[in-house]
Amino acid sequence: MRKRSRRVRAVLVAVAAVMLGAAGCDGAGPAAPEGTKHAARPPVWDRSPESIAAVGDSITRGFDACAVLSDCPEVSWATGGDARVDSLAVRLLGVPGAAERSWNYAVTGARMADLPGQMEQAARRGPQLVTVMAGANDACRSSASAMTPVAAFRADFERAMRTLRTALPRTQVYVASVPNLKRLWSEGRTNPLGKQVWKLGICPSMLADADDLTGSAMVRRDSVQQRVVAYNAVLKDVCARDRRCRFDGNAVYDYRFGTDQLSHWDWFHPSTDGQARLAEIAYGRITARQP
């Protein structure tokens, strides 16, 4: 009888163990003592960073937005203080914060090969967010054959990200897509003044002989456009491998810049209104709950 009782108890213990194990499979686990709270894991993406550094090219410098062939960083979509733009920095940090805790290291004419150096400069400030808008000048070369190869573009962007990560492993990165250069040509070619400015050397691979609609000219422009698409695919891919990086989902590329959003000096770079639209796009992507 005793042996039978021991066997029954053993079976009951085994059954209880199985039941408890099954109960734990749903992730609930044992109840926490009353009055205590589980420690919340901090989110990977902070939607309200407290400092910003911008890297990139002429677009982030506000080139041709205020005067012909001149930078105008005060209207930069990323860090500018002009109220008409309501820049990303102003939206996230407020006017005083934008003046004190945002920095613009973009350089007019910069290509992706220049980005690692800009990242190194930006990292010295220790920003919580770095914005990237680069790649247009890799397509805007003297000719289509002179464009940066896609493999080199990828290697340069990866090197820039490594440069930042070596110094700042937790800093967030927002990457804007390269604009649709062919659409900018299509919009700007209707303006005689703009076409005269284009002859000074603005994006000749796309804008040279702006009124030439022959097959060879269109093939040239299409090759530039295809290269921009390839660059954006690289930006998306490299960014996706970094859990603290957000690509804009081609929002800048897809944005239909009209004449109001283009510089009335060169009809190619964003105007003050165009800069405001870029700020709006960036703010929406950065503050979204999901990328």
Backbone angles phi, psi at 174, to 5 degrees: -110, 125
The verdict on residue 16 lying in a domain is no
Radius of gyration, alpha carbons of the chain: 26
pLDDT at 84: 97
Cα(270)–Cα(36) distance, rounded to whole angstroms?
54
Domains in the chain, number: 1
The verdict on residue 28 lying in a domain is no
3-state secondary structure at position 181: helix
pLDDT digits (tens, 9 = 90+) for 121-171: 999 999 999 999 999 999 999 999 999 999 999 999 999 999 999 999 999
The verdict on residue 6 lying in a domain is no
The verdict on residue 44 lying in a domain is no
- CB-CB neighbours of 162 under 10 Å: 12
Pick from 223, 224, 193, 220: which is nearest to 209 by CA?
220
Q: What CATH code is carried by the domain that includes residue 183?
A: 3.40.50.1110
Domain range for residue 134?
52-287
pLDDT at 41: 55
pLDDT at 44: 86
Give every residue of the chain whose pLDDT is below 50, as ranges.
1-5, 7-8, 10-39
The verdict on residue 46 lying in a domain is no
pLDDT at 42: 55
The verdict on residue 30 lying in a domain is no
Cα(14)–Cα(11) distance, rounded to whole angstroms?
5
The verdict on residue 211 lying in a domain is yes
pLDDT at 43: 66
pLDDT at 194: 85
Q: Can you state the angle between helices 215-240 and 150-167, rounded to 10 degrees?
A: 30
The verdict on residue 15 lying in a domain is no
Q: With the C-alpha atoms ordered 263, 267, 273, 275, is the resulting torsion angle positive or negative?
A: negative
Q: Which residues does 201 contact at the CB level (< 8 Å), separation at least 6?
A: none
pLDDT digits (tens, 9 = 90+) for 239-270: 999 999 999 999 999 999 998 999 999 999 99
